[in-house]
Structure 1
Amino acid sequence: MFINLNQNQNLKLFKIISEVAAANNQSVYIVGGFVRDLLMKRKASTDIDFVTEQSGIELAQNVGKEIDPKMKVSVFKTYGTAMIRYKNLDLEFVGARKESYTENSRKPDVEGGTIEDDQKRRDFTINAMAISLNKDNFGELIDPFDGIGDLEKEILRTPLEPAQTYSDDPLRMMRAVRFASTLNFTIEENSLNAIKQEAERIKIVSMERIMVEFNKIMLSKKPSIGLRLMEETGLMKLIIPELIDLKGVEEVEGQTHKDNFYHTLEVVDNISENTDNLWLRWAALLHDIGKAPTKKFVEGTGWTFHGHEFLGSKMVKTLFHKLKLPLNADMKYVQKMVKLSSRPIALITDDASDSALRRLLFDAGEDIEELFTLCKADITTKNSRKQERFKKNFQYVAVKIKEVEEKDQVRNFQPPISGEEIMELFNLKPGREIGILKEKVKEAILEGEIGNDHEEAKRFVIVEAEKLGLTLA
C-alpha cells in the first residue's frame, strides 16, 4: 500500500530528506505518531520522527546543511538522536535500533537494527507504522503488525506479547490509557489484562513522566475514559490512592451516600465541556478529595463530610508534592478552588445576604467565574427538575454578585485607607495596631457596615483607634 504524499504540505521537506539520504547511501522512513495521525486524517502533528538504518545524527546534519548551511542541529549522542527546528516543525532523526531491558529499569540496552527491529520495539501497532522516503518505494506504508487494521477497529494492541511490552517499559501502560482517552479507542483484551498483571511495575517510572501522560488524559475531551481505565487496571490505586478512597457506598440505618469516586469522574467530564484549563480540571478531580477522611455517620442526621473542603485544600499541597506537580501559583489556584468549591452551592440554597456574597467575591477574586464553572459541573443529579432549579438559582446568584461587585468593588479588594495614612493619623511606627485597624476596615466593608470608600473608612478607623487607646496626631 502506498500513501500519496503529493498533496502533503510537507512534501518539499520529505523530498529533500529523501534526496539527502540517497546521496549518502542511507535509508529513511517517517515513523510514529505522524504516520498514525496522517492515516486518521487528524490535524497534522508538528513533531515528525525519521528513522534511518544508519546514523540518525549524520542524516540530520546532512539534511540541516541542505536546508540551510547555518541551520542549528541539536545532537544527543547518548541517545543517538538529533533534532532540527524547521519553520514550525520539530524534526527528530534516529538510527533504527533493537532494545533489551533489565528488570529494574525502563532504560534499555540499545544496538543498531533494521526498520523491522525498530517497529517491533514500539508501543502499539498504530504507532509502529512507517512510510518509506526511499527513492525506490517513496510513500510505501510499511505495516508489519496491521496497525491500519487496528486504526479501523479503533483498538490499541501491542506489536509483541503485551505483558513483556509493559514489563519492559511500564510507562507504556500509561500511554495505553492516554491513547484510549484521547483517541477514544478500546484497549484490546489481552493488552488490558496485561496492564492489570504488570501494574505494579509502574513504580519504577519517574513520577514526572507519569504525570506528563496523566495530564494528557486530563486534557482529553472525556477524561473519565482514562480515569476509569486507571481505576480498572489498578494504576490509579498505585498513583493517586486518595481518589480510590472515595470509592464505594456505605449504608447505616437505611441511609446511604453517593459514590464520590464516580461522582468525581462525572464532575471532571462536565467541566471539560466548558474549559481547557488543566488546573481547573485538576480542581474538579480533587474537589471532594477530603470526603474520605471526613466521612461520618451522625445519628438523626445521616452521613456528613464536615470540613471536607478545608481538609481537601490542605491535601492538595501534599498530593502535588508527591506527584511532582508544580508547587507554585497553579497549586495555590487548585487549593483555592477546592477550598471554595461548596461556597456558591451554599449560597444558592439560601436567600444569600450581600455580606456572604461580598465575602465570596473577596475570597475568589479574579477566579469567581471559574469557581462558578466548577460548581455548575458539580451538579450531577439526573433529576431534570433539580438540575433546572440549580441552574436558575446559579443565574440568580450571579446577578446578585454582579450587583454587589458594582456597588462595593471587593473582587480585587484594596483597603480604601492605607497603612501609611493610618500611621500619619496617629503618629505611629509600623506595628500590630496598623494590622488590627486594617483588618477591622476589611471586615466592616465585607459585612456592609461601611462602604468601600476612603472617607467612610477614615471615620471608621478614628472611632476604632480610640477603642485601642490611640489619639489623633
Structure 2
Amino acid sequence: MFAALPEPLHALGRLFEEAGHELALVGGPVRDAVLGRSSADLDFTTSARPDETERILRAWNGGGAIWDMGRDFGTLGAAHAGVKVEITTYRTETYDPTSRKPQVAFGDTLAGDLSRRDFTVNAMAVRLPSLEFVDPFGGLGDIAAQVLRTPVDPVQSFTDDPLRMMRAARFVSQLGFVIEQDTAAAARALADRIEIVSAERVRDELVKLLLGAHPHRGLVELVDLSLAEHVLPELPAMKLEIDEHHRHKDVYEHSLTVLDQAIALESPAGSGGPVESPDLVLRLAALLHDIGKPATRRYEDGGVVTFRFHETVGAKMAAKRLKALAFDKDTIKQVARLVELHLRFHGYVDAAWTDSAVRRYVTDAGPLLQRLHRLTRADVTTRNKRKARALARAYDDLEQRIDELAAQEELDRIRPDLDGNAIMRILELPPGREVGEAYRHLLELRMEHGPLGAERAEQELRRWWEARQN
C-alpha cells in the first residue's frame, strides 16, 4: 500500500538516504493507510537535525519555500509537485509536572521517537525509501483488535501529557475503538490533570470528538473517564436520579439519544444540503439542549416533576460553558439560541398557530431555522409510538405552513412595507429614534397581517403617528 505513495515522497526518501540520514512516514498517515482511509497530513520523522533537514528540503523543492515556524521543536515543512510534508527530528521529551509543554531534546532512534507517541496505533512508521514497516509497540495488532493503548506505561504517558486522555475519547469517536483497561484506569486516576491543559486545546479535542463518526461513544468515554467533570461538567450533571415511578426521563441518556437522532437528520456530507454533515452547531445544541434541567428541576404537589424555563436557563449555561472552552462568538450565539428555542414548537402542538405566530417562529430562528427543524424533531425520544407519530405529523404541518407562507411572502426576508427613507419622507422626520420606532411598528403589522402594500402601510403609519401626537 505504501508503494503507491506519490513519487516526490520516494525521491525525498532517497535524498535523506544519500545524505546519510533516516526518514520515516509516521503516526496518523500510517494508521489511516492500514485502516484503508485517506489522510491529508503527511508527517515524517528523521534522524537529521533541522539545519540538515532544511538543506535537503531545499534540494527537493528546488529552493522553494520552507516553513520553519516549528524549528525550535525540530519541525520544518515544504511542498513540491503538489505534495506537502512536515518533517520533525527524532525527539525525546521531559515534562514539568505543572505543564504539558515538553522540554524538547533531539533523539537518535526511530523507536525512541515512536515511544513518545500517544497510542500504539499512532506509533507505527514506514521508512523511506525502503518502505520498511516499523511497529515496535504492536500497533498493528491493536488496530486489528480495535484497541487504544499507550506505547509506554499509561500513568507516565498521561502524567507527561494530560491531553492524551482527551485524545483517547476522541479516537473512540473517530475510529470506533475501545480503550484498553489499564489505559482507561490510568486516565480515571489522573483525570484532574486535564485542568493544566489550555481551554483551546481541550476545545479542539472536543470538537474533533463531536465531529467524529461515533460521538455518542466518545462522550460516554469522556464521562466514564471522569474527564467530563473537568471539561464539560454539565454533561455528567444531567445524570439525574430517576424516581421510582419514572416521572421524568434520564436527561443524560435522552441528550445522547437526541444527539444521535440529530446527526441522522443532517444532510449527507458533500451534498450541499441545508445542514451538511458533520454540523458542529447542531451537534452542540443537541447535546446541550437540556443542560438547564438539573438547575430547574422541581417536585410539585402530587409528585409531578417540572423543569420550568429550563430552555432559557440552559441557553445561558450553554453560552457560559462554550465561552469557558474558548469557542468563537458566532458558535456560542448560535448554540445558545437553538437551546433557547428548542421548546417553542410545543406551543404549536397545544393549539393551532396563527400565520403571525408562524412568522415569528421563522423570524426568531432566522438563519438557524433548518437546524431548529432538525433539533426539534430529534428531541422526540418518547417510547409511545402514537405520541411520536402525532408530534411528527404536527411538525410536518408546521413545516408545510412555513413553506407555504415563505412562497407567498419570502418569509426569510421579512421587512416592513416601507423602509426608513420612506418613513422619513412621509412623516418629514430626520434620522433618529422616532424613525426606528415607526419602522418597528410597521414590522409588527407586517408580522401580524402579512404584506400590506405601500398605500395601506402609509395609511397605517400616519394613523400611528397621529395617535402618538395626541
TM surpasses 0.5: yes
Q: Find the aligned partners of 1:454 and 1:389 in 2 and give their Cα distance.
A: 41
- Does the 8 A contact of 1:56 with 1:82 survive in 2? yes
Aligned pairs for 1:232-381 within 5 A: 232-251=224-243, 254=245, 256-273=247-264, 274=266, 275-300=277-302, 302-327=304-329, 329-381=330-382
Would you say 1:55 and 2:49 are equivalent positions?
A: yes
**Two-structure CA RMSD over aligned residues (Å):** 2.0
Q: Does 1:464 align with 2:468?
A: no
Larger deviation, residues 161-170 vs 390-399:
390-399
Counterpart position of 2:420: 419
SS in 1 for 2:461: helix
Moved more, 299-308 or 121-130: 299-308
What code does the residue aligned with 1:416 have?
D
* AA at the equivalent of 2:53: L
Residue 144 in structure 1 maps to residue 128 in structure 2: no
Distance in 1 (CA, whole Å) between partners of 2:281 and 2:388 is 25
Q: How does 1:397-416 map to 2 (within 5 A)?
A: 397-416=398-417
Aligned-partner residue type, residue 248 of structure 2: H
Equivalent position SS for 1:459: helix
In the TM superposition, what is the alpha-carbon distance from 1:37 to its structure 2 partner?
Answer: 0.6
Aligned to 2:440: 439
User: 1:69 is aligned with what amino acid?
Assistant: G
Residue 176 of structure 2 contacts residue 213 of structure 2 at CA under 8 Å; is this kept in 1?
no
In structure 2, the CA distance between the partners of 1:19 and 1:277, relative to structure 1 (3 Å rule), is same
Change (3 A) 1:466 1:300: farther
Identify the residue that residue 273 of structure 2 maps to in structure 1.
Answer: none
SS class of match (1:342): coil
* Shift of residue 185, structure 1, vs aligned partner: 0.1
In the aligned structure 1, how far is the partner of 2:246 from the partner of 2:332? 36
Residue type matched to 1:397 in 2? L
- Is 1:202 aligned to 2:194, yes or no? yes
The C-alpha deviation readout for 1:158-192, integer Å capped at 9, x for no partner, is 11111111111000001111111110000001101
**Deviation at 1:60?**
4.3
SS of 2:421's partner is: helix
Distance 2:231 2:383 in 1: 31
The offset of 1:451, in angstroms, is 2.9
Q: How does 1:165-184 map to 2 (within 5 A)?
A: 165-184=157-176
Offset at residue 310 of structure 1 (A): 1.9
Change over 3 Å in CA distance of 1:85–1:272 after alignment to 2:
farther
Q: Which residue of 2, 12, 24 maps to 1:5?
A: 2
* Residues 411 and 57 (structure 1), Cα distance of their counterparts in 2 relative to 1, 3 Å cut: same
1:30 counterpart residue number: 25
Alpha-carbon deviations, 1:349-396, whole Å to 9, x = none? 432222211110111123322210111111122333333332222211
Write the distance in 2 (CA, Å) between the matches of 1:92 and 1:452: 62
What's the counterpart of residue 219 of structure 1? 211
Shift of 1:90: 3.5
Deviation at 1:405, TM superposition (A): 2.1
Residue 319 of structure 2 contacts residue 335 of structure 2 at CA under 8 Å; is this kept in 1? no
* Aligned counterpart, 1:153: 145
In 2, the alpha carbon distance for the partners of 1:453 and 1:249 equals 57
Residue 193 (str. 1) matches residue 193 (str. 2)? no
Q: TM-score, normalised by structure 2?
A: 0.92
**Alpha-carbon separation, structure 1, partners of 2:51 and 2:222:** 38
Task: Please say if residues 249 and 257 of structure 1, whose CA atoms lie closer than 8 Å, have aligned partners that are also in contact.
Answer: no
Distance in 2 between the 1:68 and 1:389 partners? 68
The SS at the match of 2:345 is helix
Structure 2 residue identity aligned to 1:317: A
Count of residue pairs brought into register by the alignment: 458
Give distance in 1, aligned partners of 2:364 and 2:81.
Answer: 45
Amino acid at match of 2:213: K
SS at match of 1:100: strand
For residues 87 and 182 of structure 1, what CA distance do their matches in structure 2 show?
Answer: 30
Does structure 1 retain, via aligned residues, the 8 Å contact 2:27–2:125?
yes
The letter of the residue matching 1:437 is A
User: 124-133 or 57-66, which moves further after superposition?
Assistant: 57-66
1:249–1:256 contact (8 Å) kept in structure 2: no
Q: More displaced, 99-108 or 345-354?
A: 345-354
Of stretches 299-308 and 412-421 in structure 1, the one that deviates more from structure 2 is: 299-308
Counterpart of 2:394 in structure 1 is 393
* Residue type of the alignment partner of 2:260: D
After superposition, give the CA deviation of every residue in 1:309-330 in whole Å (9 maximum; x if it has no partner).
Answer: 2222223332222111112x22
Give 1:112 shift. Answer: 2.4
Identity across matched positions, percent: 34
Deviation at 1:57, TM superposition (A): 4.7
Residues 224 and 265, structure 1, Cα contact 8 Å, conserved in 2: yes
Q: Judge which range, 317-326 or 204-213, deviates more.
A: 317-326
User: Of the candidates 196, 221, 229, which is equivalent to residue 221 of structure 2?
Assistant: 229
C-alpha contact 2:240 2:294 (8 A) present in aligned 1: no
Shift of 1:464: 1.3
Specify the code of the residue in structure 2 equivalent to 1:31: V
User: Could you give the per-residue CA deviations for residues 30-81 of structure 1, whole angstroms, max 9, x where no partner exists?
Assistant: 11011111111112x1211111122145224413322322343435321111
CA gap 1:438/1:269 in 2 versus in 1, 3 angstroms = same
Distance in 1 separating the partners of 2:333 and 2:103 = 41
In structure 2, relative to structure 1, the CA distance for the partners of 1:146 and 1:352 (3 Å cut) is: same
2:274 is matched with which residue?
A: none
Q: How far apart, CA to CA, are the structure 2 residues paired with 1:407 and 1:83? A: 56
**Displacement of 1:433 after TM fit?**
2.9
One-letter code aligned to 1:52: T
Q: Retained in 2: the 8 A contact 1:344–1:372?
A: no
Distance 2:60 2:81 in 1: 15
Q: Does 1:18 align with 2:17?
A: no
